[in-house]
Structure 1
Amino acid sequence: MPRLAVGDIAPDFTLTTADGGSVTLSDLRGRHVIVYFYPAAMTPGCTTQACDFRDNLASLQAAGYAVVGISPDDLPALEKFVEAEHLTFPLASDPDRSVLEGWGAWGEKSLYGKTVTGVIRSTVVVDPEGRVELAQYNVKATGHVAKLRKDLKVA
């Protein structure tokens, strides 16, 4: 799958969120949006990453960033994840992987030495006009939010 690059127009999406609502990228125009893709709710790496976003959300929001997490998980799994980890930003379900594929976050990756097809842990920052400001693929769960904050110059 092709990956997004700086300057690309971020593909719009509307997905159902864990709280039963929905999130539409174009509704967030005028703000910076951090869209991050993760493989599976309630797994160790994804929990670490989600909790890092939760713990840094106030400073990201103060700097003008919204955060949206996307995975192929079904809504009950996302609901459980939000409740268990007290997550305070939208988690969206992409069960047919159309958004994951369109954003380059689905494809071949190496997992424990084997090549598999699945979610490529990725983060894309969209600017207020809807263009890609930053695109990072194959990110590590641990320490990623701290690196992202540094890249975005968020104190």
Structure 2
Amino acid sequence: MKNKTIATWLTFWTGPLGLHRFYLYGLTDMLGWLLPIPTALGFYGLERVQQFGQDDTLSWMLIPLLGFTMAGCALNAIVYGLTSVEKWNAKFNPKSEALHPAGRTHWGTIIGIAVALLLGTTVLMSSLVFSFQRYFEYQIEAARLISQ
């Protein structure tokens, strides 16, 4: 039985590693195996910033991958948490009755939705701000070089 509260929290905390996909769909889920790639690239971008500073072009292109992956997983956690009991059990617990307790929304699910909304939005906005700032600084520097 796939529990909606567990799926919500797994998606939020371990979503960028794909562990929620393995919980819900099994080890043969391709997206679960692909999710760690943008996460690892984003962490590589963070490491490049520490090594080469903020002027490294590759790092400011890689770091948003981590942020967007985390924000996408937070959105997915919200969607899982807001799914109705009937739809949840029909999709993830098809052999059970429609109102089985595994698909019910508890306080843990609601808290998970609220945390995912709060932190997911923060990560998304931070990633957008960082991306746009670095992009426009790069464009200004390129224009300065052309004008000289």
Q: Pick the structure with more strand per residue.
A: 1
Give the TM-score normalised by structure 1: 0.24
**Greater RCO, CA 8 A, separation 6+:** 1
Q: Which has the larger radius of gyration?
A: 2
Give TM-score scaled by structure 2 length: 0.24
